[in-house]
A and B are shown apart, each in its own frame.
Chain A
Amino acid sequence: DAGVIQSPRHEVTEMGQEVTLRCKPISGHNSLFWYRQTMMRGLELLIYFNNNVPIDDSGMPEDRFSAKMPNASFSTLKIQPSEPRDSAVYFCASRLGQAYNEQFFGPGTRLTVL
């Protein structure tokens, strides 16, 4: 299996631009998670989906952030408009089954907003 796939790996954009991050989970996994990692705040859960349905988006910082999962093999995290404080590494993870099972992480997207 190819593991969790994220694209792009690096994104540099200017403040005010729209940014879309993409994730392909491991085939057959039914839960998908988006995390943000920064030096100051560590690893934060932004949103997670179960069977393509958003279950908990309480970690989404503000309305500029949105996430979708149109099917079991694809999810996007969009920031519009982007701001310099959004600069971080964004990880997607997927999991099969229950909470005691392992989450498999993608390699991350390093976002820099100038």
Chain B
Amino acid sequence: AQSVTQLGSHVSVSEGALVLLRCNYSSSVPPYLFWYVQYPNQGLQLLLKYTSAATLVKGINGFEAEFKKSETSFHLTKPSAHMSDAAEYFCAVSGGNNRLAFGKGNQVVVIP
């Protein structure tokens, strides 16, 4: 079975500062990894995904993530936070079966 750990349920970041959300995964097979974003009262939207191609993955809205097998990590970053980045972010892992295991999520608050 696969699982994801996201630490720190709430993350505050100043506008213009670096956004860093940490994700560590556990999987018995080579994983597929995803970051989703959820805005209030909406469903989840895909930000980016890793599927065993390039280890540095670029997504929408200026976000990127790096797959590090040795650290079992897939941390999400954005160089400069914008007010519109305030949302909840979920890391998820699939071990090749159809189950997608989500982390608990990070609620990002952007401080003007």
Contacts and interface: CB of A to CB of B under 8 A. Distances in A.
Interface stretch (B11-19, B43-51, B71-79): B43-51
Nearest to A91: B43
Given A91-B44, A100-B32, A105-B44, A45 B49 contact: no
B102 A99 contact: no
A52 interface: no
Contacts of A88: none
Contacts of B68: none
B43 A48 contact: no
Interface residues of B, number: 25
Nearest to B103: A42
Contacts of B34: 102
Contact of A100 (B49, B90, B99, B103): B49
Given A99-B32, A100-B49, A45 B100 contact: yes
A107 B39 CA distance: 10
Interface string A32-69: 01000000001101001010000110000000000000
A31 to B, nearest CB: 6
A99 B95 CA distance: 8
A99 B103 contact: no
B8 interface: no
Contacts of B42: 107-108
Contact of A43 (B51, B96, B102): B102
A106 interface: yes
Interface in A87-114: 91, 93, 99-100, 102-103, 105-108
11 contacts: A43-B105, A45-B100, A48-B99, A99-B94, A99-B97, A100-B32, A100-B52, A102-B34, A103-B100, A107-B41, A107-B43
Interface of A: 4, 31, 33, 42-43, 45, 48, 50, 55-56, 91, 93, 99-100, 102-103, 105-108
